Structure 1
């Protein structure tokens, strides 16, 4: 399974804002750190604002900040909001699939169980759980290097 870059950028933005609670951040700050498109990130931040997770402050000294505490931001819910679908195989899309095994194959059921297990794990994770500890080696490294979705998921799975 692969999550979209939109979800990846959403999680990176939330982590960045969670790590920088003491100040307003800008879209440019996040884009520069992760070397991602400011235009694409603007769409991400707009959706985060519309969902109530990020507050935007307008004006010359404006910027972004989390609209709630990191403990209140559920990673599973964020992923559900940002992913367009969870069709991990053609047979999940009931409107357009041509698999001749539909109805006779149990793979769809097993993949569905796996997807539900994946989301169940992330439903038990908040933004606070994945924020790096500031004085840890990982926290220091993340101040210098971009956070990747792969790294985030590995940390969740490994409990680090």
Structure 2
């Protein structure tokens, strides 16, 4: 299974926020740290904020921070949210058409594999994968 860059960048940003949960991180700071597009990261942070994983503040001292403890944020929930518009295969999409659908033996196996993947992620939280605090924050 391959996750989209949207999910990859979202997880990286959350891992950084979990390293210092009382601090607000600017999108620019996170984007620069991981070498990702600020514009793309803004969209990710907005989705995470709309769904209650991240709280945002504007202005001086503003930025994004976890909206609740990392130990209460399941990795499976995050991946489901960040991948919500991305079907594993075309036939999983709401409007996905497949010419072999009536006789396909693959769809059920792929669905089971995707379910097992998410079930494994459901066993872990953001706290389990938080990045170590940056060296500058430790001195």
TM-score range, shorter chain: 0.7 to 0.9
2:43 maps to 1:18: no
Aligned twin of 1:102: 101
Q: Which residue of 1 aligns with 2:92?
A: 92
Q: Following TM superposition, by how much is the alpha carbon of 1:64 offset from its aligned partner in structure 2, in angstroms?
A: 1.9
Q: Label 1:35 to 1:128 Cα distance change in 2 as closer, same or farther (>3 A).
A: same
SS in 2 for 1:11: helix
Tell me the CA shift for residue 39 of structure 1.
0.8
Give unpaired runs (5+ residues) of structure 1: 141-160
Aligned to 1:65: 65
In structure 2, distance between residues paired with 1:85 and 1:23: 30
Aligned twin of 2:42 = 42
Question: 1:133 deviation in Å?
Answer: 5.1
Question: How far is 1:36 from its partner?
Answer: 0.6
Aligned to 2:53: 53
Tell me which residue corresponds to 1:150: none
TM-score, reference length from structure 1 = 0.75
2:116 corresponds to which residue? 117
- When the two structures are aligned, how many residues end up with a matched partner? 135
RMSD between superposed Cα atoms in Å: 2.0
